[in-house]
Chain A
Amino acid sequence: MNPTVSTRRIAWPALIAVVALAAIAPLLVSDFFLSAILTKALWLGIAAASLIFLAAYGGMVSLAQVGIYGIAGMAYANLVLADGGAAAAVNPYLALVAALLIATLVGLGFGWIAARSEGIYFLMITLAFSVLVYYFFSQVTGLSGFGGINSVDLPGIVGSPEQDPLPRYLVTLVVAVLVFLGLGVLSRTAFGLGMQGVRDEPARMRALGFDVTLHRTLAFGIAAFVAGIAGVLSVFYNTRITPGSINLAQTIDVLIVAVIGGLYRLEGAWLGALTYALIDNYSREWVPEVGNVLGPARFNTLIGVLFLIIVLASPGGLIGIAEQLSRKVKTPRRAPAPMPAPQTVD
């Protein structure tokens, strides 16, 4: 049973406030912060959102998202870059569309297979997929170059991030907002409600006349499209892609981002990604030197401890903590009631 998942309307005032803040952020922060923290949090958030979308609305915790975004990233990089770093082979915009199409098709095909399994088996089969994609690109150097594909051409709209990271940031921001809104609207469509029905009671959905496997497959395809977007944006961010950037560690990182943020709300994806980017960049400075026991080199330990604390304090992640706090501040207008309300005897 999922903890308190429900269909939520988009909280417009909060969304507008966050987007406004993100829009003026370039005036307030350094170029380094803009790229390494904010831009990274936005595209990593999209990757985590594809995972959260499947988990929160479809009841499927997938570890395949990094595999799929790796396929999109590799497809884009290969299409724009002829072998040996010659001039762009394919127009970057065309390559982008092709990359998303490939990622979505692979997602649909793989989803069709994975949709038949549930729970831990679904987790395992999707993990296997990501590992497979990693080894494929590690070994087929014809597609991944030796040690990755470097200096990938970017679409004109992104500009040259080395000189000015602002256009890339704004593009990533707009795409992230569109992904958030798109998935939010989708969850309230006939299809989206059906997905949530499949999450709660697949047997009931079958008895009502729904094709549960088809629903799961299409949900997986949509999540693959979103993961593909993250993959292409990750290439914009790094201007390169290597097999090492889509390995098992990255699969785990995206899962951690989703869990830190909160597996049950889409907003959690970006909150988790921002937290992760901050910890990943600055934790080296925070860890004090204590003999041989602690030191800046132990920043991974700090990340692990923070992860444990967040998960133990709130299974709903940071979003869950925020919800609990706002519940305490506001006098509840309506009982949020994770427990059944007491019944009056009639």
Chain B
Amino acid sequence: MAATATHEEPAPILRLTGIDRRFGGVHAVRGVDLQVRPGERRAVLGPNGAGKTTVFNLISGEFPPSAGRVELFGLDVTTLPARKRARLGLSRTFQTSRLFAGLSVEDNLYLAALGVSAGHLRLVPSGKDGTLRAAARAMAERIGLDTRLDDLVMDLSHGEQRQLEVGMALVAEPKLLMLDEPAAGLSRAERVRLTETLIGLDEDITLILIEHDMDVALRVAKWVTMMHDGRVIVEGTPDEIRANQTVHDLYLGSGLIAHA
């Protein structure tokens, strides 16, 4: 795997080395190496079952790899639990929304902001938590949910829930943001809005994106990693990926796996 830019290379913000993960008899991820530099816009593509979400879970610390090494922000975090990685500045969304259905939109965002700050166990009334409440409301406005602050999340539409997923990841002000299929199930208008949000992200935030929608993925990403069968098979710019025969075969459902 060749690096893109040949000029000066900053230290990677994320480095996976020889990552393996088995679930019983299933070999979900096989020897994946991956490097992401600060400020990068990276898309991870691949058909269902390629191992994309497993790689995400290994990076965020849902479970440890069977073999290999995960480094975040220059630290070896292979055995560090998810909550400590979050506090280092990693923030993620989930493929199927994992929101607090019994809480209001504002309380969801409040908890997301609270997670990376001190004082999880404080007994102060959360309504008087000025700074975090302000951050929660500002984020609600940014994702277009400011009119639904007091509504329970279980009463939101699918599109609104997906927006909230992204908002909850952003309100933690991460250094590394990982989005798992943020556009899944969104309407056309909602996709356009999401794409704009992602393109408009602060340049300091590093973004890794799993997305099946090529319009979203290839517009947002500057560099694409293509996975299949637990392996990284191609990496390149969006243009190179568009022109790549293997990618076409995989996404058009060809039974033959061509060799790139």
Are B82 and A190 touching (Cβ within 8 A)?
no
Contacts of A186 in B (CB 8 A): 123
Would you mind naming 14 contact pairs between A and B with Cβ atoms under 8 Å apart? A5-B102, A6-B152, A7-B104, A188-B125, A194-B114, A194-B121, A200-B101, A201-B98, A207-B62, A207-B94, A208-B112, A208-B168, A209-B87, A210-B83
B window 170-191: CB within 8 A of A? 172, 187, 189
- Identify 18 new A-B residue pairs, CB closer than 8 A, beyond the known A5-B102, A188-B126, A189-B126: A2-B101, A6-B152, A7-B107, A188-B125, A189-B122, A191-B120, A191-B121, A193-B111, A194-B121, A196-B100, A206-B61, A207-B94, A207-B98, A208-B86, A208-B168, A209-B116, A210-B120, A218-B121
CA gap between A1 and B101 in the complex, in Å: 9
A: residues with CB less than 8 A from B are: 1-2, 4-7, 185-186, 188-194, 196-197, 199-201, 203-212, 214-215, 218, 335, 337-338, 340-341, 343, 346
Are B103 and A191 touching (Cβ within 8 A)?
no
Are B155 and A204 touching (Cβ within 8 A)?
no
User: What residue of chain A has the Cβ atom nearest to residue B100's Cβ?
Assistant: A200
B: residues with CB less than 8 A from A are: 60-62, 81-84, 86-87, 91-92, 94, 98-104, 107, 110-112, 114-116, 119-127, 129, 152, 154-157, 168, 172, 187, 189
CA gap between A239 and B62 in the complex, in Å: 52
A266 to chain B, nearest CB (A): 15
Known: A203-B98, A206-B81, A341-B155. A188 touches B127 (CB 8 A): yes
A325 to chain B, nearest CB (A): 21
Contacts of B100 in A (CB 8 A): 196-197, 200-201, 204
Contacts of A199 in B (CB 8 A): 102
Partner of A208, one of B121, B172, B187: B172
Are A190 and B120 touching (Cβ within 8 A)?
yes
Partner of B83, one of A189, A209, A340, A346: A209
Contacts of B156 in A (CB 8 A): 340
A22 to chain B, nearest CB (A): 27
CA gap between A191 and B189 in the complex, in Å: 38
User: What residue of chain A has the Cβ atom nearest to residue B188's Cβ?
Assistant: A346
Question: Between A and B, how many residue pairs show CB distances below 8 Å?
Answer: 129
CA gap between A197 and B99 in the complex, in Å: 8
CA gap between A208 and B168 in the complex, in Å: 9
Are A211 and B83 touching (Cβ within 8 A)?
yes
Known: A7-B107, A196-B102, A208-B172. A340 touches B189 (CB 8 A): no
Are B155 and A340 touching (Cβ within 8 A)?
yes
Are B125 and A2 touching (Cβ within 8 A)?
no
Known: A2-B102, A204-B100, A215-B120. A190 touches B126 (CB 8 A): yes
Contacts of B104 in A (CB 8 A): 6-7
Contacts of B62 in A (CB 8 A): 203, 206-207
Contacts of A346 in B (CB 8 A): 187, 189
User: What residue of chain B has the Cβ atom nearest to residue A212's Cβ?
Assistant: B83
Are A340 and B157 touching (Cβ within 8 A)?
yes
Give the interface centre of B99, B100, B104, B110 by most chain A CB atoms within 10 Å.
B100
Are A190 and B155 touching (Cβ within 8 A)?
no
Are B123 and A206 touching (Cβ within 8 A)?
no
A5 to chain B, nearest CB (A): 4
Known: A7-B104, A190-B120, A340-B157. A209 touches B172 (CB 8 A): yes
